[in-house]
Amino acid sequence: MVSSAAPQDSSHSPGRPSLLAAEGGPLGVLICGHGSRNRLAVAEFAQLAEALRELVPEVPVAHGYLEFARPILREGLDSLRAQGVRRVLAVPAMLFAAGHAKNDIPSVLNTYAAETGLRIDYGRELGVDLKMIQAAGARIRQALVAADGASPEVARADPGLGAAAPASGEVRPAQRAPVPINETLLVVVGRGSSDPDANSNVAKVTRMLVEGLGFGWGETVYSGVTFPLVEPGLRHAVRLGFRRIVVFPYFLFSGVLVSRIRQHTALVAADHPELEFIDASYLGDHPLVVETFRERLDEVLRGDTQMNCSLCKYRAQVLGFELEVGAPQRSHHHHVEGLSEACTLCDLECTGACQPDGIPLPSPGSPASGPSPDPGHSHDPGHSHDPGHSHDPGHSHDHSHSHGHDHSHDHSHDHGHAPYPQADHPLGPRTLVASNQAQRLRNQAAAGPDPAAGELPPLSTGMGQTRAEANPRPSQLPGSHRD
């Protein structure tokens, strides 16, 4: 709880809780990320943490990762303790609430708190938030302005519109006369998760953007785990008849997933030269994103960090996920925690060169095998930023209604993930793994006789035609790792 009698420092806004005067201090802040072997993604995360430091200069701010980068979360917490911090506000750098911050981050934080006695209060994910919607709208408008030049309906006054986008406005094919926004289709690409609550929040963001900006229509697709994936989703979308399609990755940072989104968009665009495709930038460290992080800190101090338990599959009988209620929640990142070898296949921006046929190469410390039989479980170098979960200050971070089932912190590698119920959907990862492998065999057969390949039956795309008929060019498979 925050002491109401404490003096207020001069660095905070009226009505905003004082970080210096918080009960249980001295206070520190930990920004919790997933981590990536992609150097640009790690640099962008550190840049966001630095922007938050500038926003709250009165207290120490550290950051840490679950895997594939340093500092790890424990190292970030160690650095705060070394600066005399006695209470930590930990905020997940996640867009929506799914496995990483519901399970993995709390597991690490709970273990550390139990070992050291440090008080750690856990905040909630960025979520469906007004400022996040405004930041997303600004990125989309930047892409439209770059494609069309400023027009009254696009270049209206918008908070943060001038904030530099990491990469946006690429247009395929060549520039043409501007298309009215109400004749333009918006496709929002979410990370994709085995948690339907997180996936549904992406769809809500899509609707807010479509209605707010006045697009003619909107579709939501995902980069992995769930369906529809990017390429088959776009192939459905082009049949709606719009002349222009804006593809917006609703991601915080760069990485192999964002690169794949662009590659799959290019595949569809190449098959439809009559259409205009515009790539909008991901969110990056937009000022409104940074301000949302600050608001999450304020929520923890006020004690009003609200959890969405009514649709959490670990607490409620969510349709199709009934067997996961009360399941033990354990982090599955222990075996890759602290691995920090950067990917060197690309100069800086990830091109997806590590996955030439769409199937991730083995990560250090993981079995050197083919695609995982569980489409929700592989460690992708660009795996980024699933969602956080909200917890009241002092909450034990478990997910049972009685608060009696907590994280047992089992460090074994038997992750025990429940199977994703829609893994075999024709527009989802597992189905396209088989299709992708068959397509590679067809390509090899076309290159020359291969008696071992045999005759392969046509594979249905779920659209009334075989995949070869729907997309004769070899297609890269979006990632199939778990949230």
Q: pLDDT digits over 101-122, tens only? A: 788 899 999 999 999 999 999 9
Say which residues have a Cβ less than 8 Å from residue 146's Cβ, sequence separation at least 6: 168, 169, 171
Structure-model confidence comparison of residues 62 and 365, the more confident one: 62
**Dihedral angle of Cα 206, 208, 213, 219, to the nearest 10 degrees:** 20
pLDDT value of position 341: 56
Residue 17: its pLDDT value, please? Answer: 80
pLDDT at 217 over 80: yes
The span from the CA of 441 to the CA of 370, in Å, is 15
pLDDT of residue 424: 77
Could you tell me whether strands 27-33 and 61-65 are parallel, antiparallel, or unpaired per DSSP bridges? parallel
Res 314: pLDDT: 61
359 closest CA partner among 427, 458, 439: 439
> Could you tell me which of 65, 422, 41, 43 has the C-alpha nearest to residue 224?
422
The Cα–Cα gap between 102 and 327 comes to: 12
The secondary structure of residue 424, as a DSSP letter, is: T
Mean pLDDT of the chain: 73
Q: How many CA atoms lie within 13 A of 232 on its CB side?
A: 28
Instruction: Assign 100 a pLDDT band (cuts: 50, 70, 90).
Output: confident
Give the DSSP H/E element, type plus range, for residue 178: none
